[in-house]
């Protein structure tokens, strides 16, 4: 099956031999091609170029994109998309002034979700998560990392990861699974947190590895959750099973999480609201992607990660939605793109690189996704009729995506019924 996308007003992120990620000043570079074509053969991008140089003529299907920009579909490298129920009632407490940590201390937050998960069957969790996957695809996401972490028992965590495995098999989106047994301490271990860490190490990790259910391992390494020492023990246990860390760090304090992540060769350290000079120095020249979650800062009214400072220091940054019922109940990456520009003051080019090229790296799929490159998977967005790419972060809140193509197939067409 050969598809031609013709007359593309502007093709974004063309890159013949992409770096693994873009960092520092390079984040403001975005290569583009005006009046372009792109050819998809089955699931791959096989060619692109200027319309005037198109030589082939035989295609099974042609999509005219004269009013549209075409770009790689977004990668969302940090989500908790499998969850039992939304938590809008708890959110009222937040409106009334309670902090995320205060809600957590009262047994709300993650523990609230962990209680609910017991009542839900794997089928229930699968159905609701699949709906959310369809929703994020309609906003242009083509790849997503999904964490466990609302089970907090061996059975509960395995249940979540089995659901993620089914989603991987059935959804067209590219999915990576992250084991987050160390998301919160269950109440029965409150007086003996070390015992819960032992359970993660001795029971959960071997069970997860035995069923081959996770690509990555995560720990919420932060004030009031898991310490640096506990995080290290867990990451070392994961490393025995080749589970690469992608961890929550420095959301609530200078927790040492960033240093711990880099020390253990984390693929990414995520959140990073509390990042100072020391943390930046440690990240510099490491292969760990700083992944920022502006949706959580926005929703919880936390401070924002010092994105500009990080870029000036030469670091790369990726952004993710953190889609979850407590701190970021939205998986709309176009909104994340806008928050990147509105709140971090990222240039449109920097914001776009952070949710495509660098986000692909942060979930370990940079060889197949994130740029328009011959041989990469055809995970693409065709936009509605918009004037230019600067419009994407600027015109916030609206869905600017017309079509989402995943592995060569149009899975979303937002204008079909118009």
Say how far apart CA 33 and CA 12 lie, in whole Å: 7
User: Rounded to whole angstroms, what are the CA distances from 326 to 99, 109, 268, 296, 341?
Assistant: 11, 6, 22, 9, 23
Which residue's CB comes closest to ligand NIG?
Answer: 326
Cα separation values, 70 from 73, 230, 410, Å: 9, 45, 13
Q: By C-alpha distance, which of 272, 320, 381 is closest to 77?
A: 320
Of positions 248, 377, 400, 402, contacts ligand NIG by CB under 6 A: 248
Q: Which of 72, 77, 84, 109 binds ligand NIG (CB under 6 A)?
A: 109
Cβ of residue 271: shortest distance to Fe ion, in angstroms? 7
Closest to 299 (Cα-Cα) out of 87, 74, 76: 87
Per CB under 6 A, 340 contacts ligand NIG: no
- The DSSP-derived string for 33-46 is EEEEEEEEETTEEE
- Contact range with ligand NIG by CB under 6 A, out of 38-46, 57-65, 322-330, 375-383: 322-330
Site for Fe ion contains 322 (CB under 5 A): yes
Among 76, 230, 322, 349, binds ligand NIG (CB under 6 A): 322
Closest approach of ligand NIG to the CB of residue 299, in Å: 9
Cβ proximity to Fe ion, 222 vs 322, nearer residue: 322
Which of positions 112-141 make contact with ligand NIG (CB under 6 A)?
Answer: 113
Residue 279 binds to Fe ion (criterion: CB under 5 A):
no
User: Any contact of residue 259 with ligand NIG (CB under 6 A)?
Assistant: no
Rounded to a whole number of angstroms, the minimum distance from the CB of residue 118 to Fe ion is 21
Of 76 and 322, which has the nearer Cβ to Fe ion?
322
Task: Kindly state the smallest distance separating residue 327's Cβ from ligand NIG, in Å.
Answer: 3
What span, in angstroms and rounded, lies between the C-alpha atoms of 29 and 20?
15
In contact, 400 and 383? CB cutoff 8 Å:
yes
End-to-end CA distance of the chain: 27
Residue bearing tokens 């304090």: 253
| Position 143 contacts ligand NIG (CB under 6 A) | no
Provide the minimum distance between the beta carbon of 182 and Fe ion in the complex, in angstroms, as a whole number.
12
Match 């055809």 to its residue by tokens: 378
324 contributes a contact to ligand NIG by CB under 6 A? yes
DSSP state string for 298-323: HHHT-PPP-HHHHHHTT---EE----
CB neighbours (10 Å) of residue 175?
Answer: 21
Q: Which stretch binds ligand NIG (CB under 6 A): 193-201, 210-218, 308-316, 324-332?
A: 324-332
* Bridge-based pairing state of the strands 268-271 and 244-249: parallel
Residue 346 Cβ vs ligand NIG, minimum distance, rounded to whole Å: 20
E strand or H helix at 3, and its extent? strand 2-12
Site string for Fe ion, 243-272 (x = CB under 5 A): ------------------------------
Residue 113 binding target from ligand NIG, Fe ion, none, CB below 5 to 8 Å by type: ligand NIG
Contact in structure between 235 and 257 (CB atoms under 8 Å): no
Q: Which residues bind Fe ion (CB under 5 A)?
A: 322
Q: Which residues bind ligand NIG (CB under 6 A)?
A: 80, 109-110, 113, 220, 248, 251, 296, 322, 324-327
């Amino acid at each position: 099956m050969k598809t031609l996308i013709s007359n593309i007003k502007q093709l974004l992120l063309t890159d013949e031999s992409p770096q693994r990620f873009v960092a520092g000043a390079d984040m403001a570079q975005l290569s583009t091609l005006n009046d372009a074509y792109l050819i998809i053969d089955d699931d791959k991008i096989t060619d692109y170029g200027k319309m005037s140089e198109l030589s082939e003529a035989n295609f099974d299907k042609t999509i005219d994109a004269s009013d549209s920009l075409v770009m790689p579909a977004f990668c969302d490298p940090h989500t908790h998309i499998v969850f039992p129920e939304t938590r809008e009632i708890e959110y009222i407490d937040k409106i009334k002034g309670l902090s995320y940590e205060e809600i957590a201390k009262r047994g709300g937050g993650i523990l609230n979700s962990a209680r609910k998960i017991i009542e839900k069957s794997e089928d229930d969790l699968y159905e609701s998560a699949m709906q959310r996957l369809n929703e994020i695809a309609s906003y242009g996401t083509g790849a997503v990392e999904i964490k466990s972490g609302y089970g907090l028992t061996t059975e509960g965590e395995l249940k979540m990861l089995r659901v993620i495995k089914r989603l991987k098999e059935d959804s067209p989106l590219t999915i990576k699974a992250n084991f987050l047994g160390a998301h919160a301490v269950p109440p029965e271990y409150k007086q003996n947190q070390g015992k819960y860490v032992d359970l993660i190490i001795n029971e959960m990790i071997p069970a997860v590895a035995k069923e081959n259910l996770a690509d990555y391992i995560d720990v919420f390494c932060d004030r009031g959750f898991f310490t640096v020492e506990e995080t290290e023990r867990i990451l070392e246990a994961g490393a025995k099973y080749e589970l690469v860390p992608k961890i929550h760090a420095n959301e609530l304090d200078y927790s040492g999480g960033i240093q711990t992540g880099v020390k253990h060769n984390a693929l990414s350290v995520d959140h990073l609201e509390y990042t100072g000079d020391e943390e930046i120095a440690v990240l510099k020249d490491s292969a760990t992607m700083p992944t920022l979650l502006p949706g959580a800062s926005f929703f919880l009214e936390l401070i924002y990660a010092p994105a500009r400072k990080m870029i000036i220091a030469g670091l790369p940054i990726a952004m993710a939605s953190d889609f979850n019922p407590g701190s970021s109940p939205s998986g709309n990456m176009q909104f994340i793109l806008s928050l990147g520009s509105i709140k971090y003051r990222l240039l449109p080019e920097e914001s776009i690189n952070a949710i495509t090229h660098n986000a692909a790296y942060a979930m370990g799929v940079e060889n197949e996704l994130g740029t328009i490159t011959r041989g990469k998977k055809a995970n693409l967005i065709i936009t509605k009729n918009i004037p230019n790419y600067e419009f994407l972060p600027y015109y916030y809140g609206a869905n600017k995506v017309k079509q989402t193509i995943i592995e060569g197939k149009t899975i979303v067409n937002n204008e079909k019924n118009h």
